[in-house]
Structure 1
Amino acid sequence: MAIRRDAAAAKKAPGGSMPLVDHLRELRKRLTRAVLAIAVGTIVGFVFYGPILDFLTQPYVDMRPLLQSEGIDTELVITGVGGAFQFQLKISLVFGLLASSPFWLWQMWAFILPAMHRHEKRWAFFLAGTGAPLFVGGAALAYAVLPKAMEILIGFVPDGFGSLVTGAEYFDFIIKMLLVFGVAAEIPLVVIMLNRLGIVSAQQLAQSRPWIIVGIFVFAAVATPTTDPLTMLFLAVPMLVLYFISELVARLTDRKRAKAVQSEPSDDEASPLD
């Protein structure tokens, strides 16, 4: 009986402390659930492969008539005997990862959260609640930019030549664009978190603004899979807007923090007894 009480007390101890074996069992349970969720999402992606493929190839379909009007014939092809199956399997797996991401990300949080304090949990939910919409918004912008980016790149094909784009190359290009735009949209979240932790102040951000602007344009030029300045601007301009918003939030946070410090009594000041 005493051993059972000790085990129960260890599981309910503050800070989420528990024996190592229980930690490993909990980790195994969370990983198993995450893998099953990804497997189910992959199966769903395999079943609905047609609509998913139509969605992915729509930017190419929208861009193709524009190139044909310029005398450039382009075609999307799949090479190799098993190329079609590998392509379908790859798309299904990526779809499964994305579709099940809310569930397996929650499994990760559920394993970490018990070890966090209350204020750390608030910031964890803040990160999860704002990071996902920002990433989706950046990926949506990339999807809207894709037709113009492909038109510019394939437009460099010389006269008398055609353009054959393999399915694997096309899919890799789309994934890179979505990831780059999605990660770039997380800039305000990173800046606000650094400011809340006291690592960076609004004054420091204002002083470093010219260098940050230059860095954003350099990042946009290097990170985008394309080489045209238009796609770079499509990435750099939203990043600048998001950065200016995060700088404004940091300035408001610093003002609130300064007022809180001023309202606190000094060490040598007598506090009221009542």
Structure 2
Amino acid sequence: MALQQKLQVKLSHKLILTPSLQQALKMLPMSTVELADMMNQEMVENPLLDEAPIDESPPTDGVQQEEKGQEASTNLEASGADDTWDEADYEYFFGEYLDEGFRRQPNQGARDLPPLENTLSTASSLSDHLTWQLSSSQYTETIQEISAAIIGNLNEDGQLAASTEELCAMGSWSEGDVATALGIVQHFDPVGVAARNLQECLLLQLRHLGFAGTITERIVVDHLGLLQRRRLPDLAKILGLSVDETKQHVDVISHIDPKPG
């Protein structure tokens, strides 16, 4: 029997996390203090790294930033209009699909804090943190006032507890200005704060990590219901992927904190 050589071409979908995205996922749950410590450690270990000077000059594109904030907020509000936070238990959705290495670990840092600091209100700390970022920014007086109102209406999980109509009524503000201010606050640290529903919170963080326009984003935009019902085989069939390939995208989503507060 003669031996023959044949060339076969096989097309397949595969999600590849680049080193930069892997690092971004690792850094996402870190606090500002933890990020600063990590950066200092990297500079100690790598003498080729230099700390870039901070530009303290006033921004000249504040109007453009406000316009971008309004556009982003409007798009996300439209995409997540029918979604609510009570529709799902986040860890319950993803629990059986996650490898052990992807499971969220409890925050160990809080145990090491002095007793007094351990008793601080999470909501108060988040409010202070966001207010500090707002005071360091330069927007119009109206946007500053609306942003402060938004921060004041966040619950302990960082979710926005007031509707657009309620915010407008607080200061006779326009819906456009409210949308602009909301888009700005939602991109403060932690990204995803002030989201109005689960879908919006996931999308804000996915797009911040560079997953805009990917299958991972598509799952959240178009098929969050299937994900919530744990219908992974059905989701894979719709996407034209294998279950294992679909699971890789779900693994990325599972890293996102649904309650960034």
TM norm structure 1: 0.23
Q: More relative contact order in 1 or in 2 (CA 8 Å, sep 6+)?
A: 2
Q: Over alpha carbons, which structure has the higher Rg? A: 1
Which TM-score applies when normalising by structure 2?
Answer: 0.24
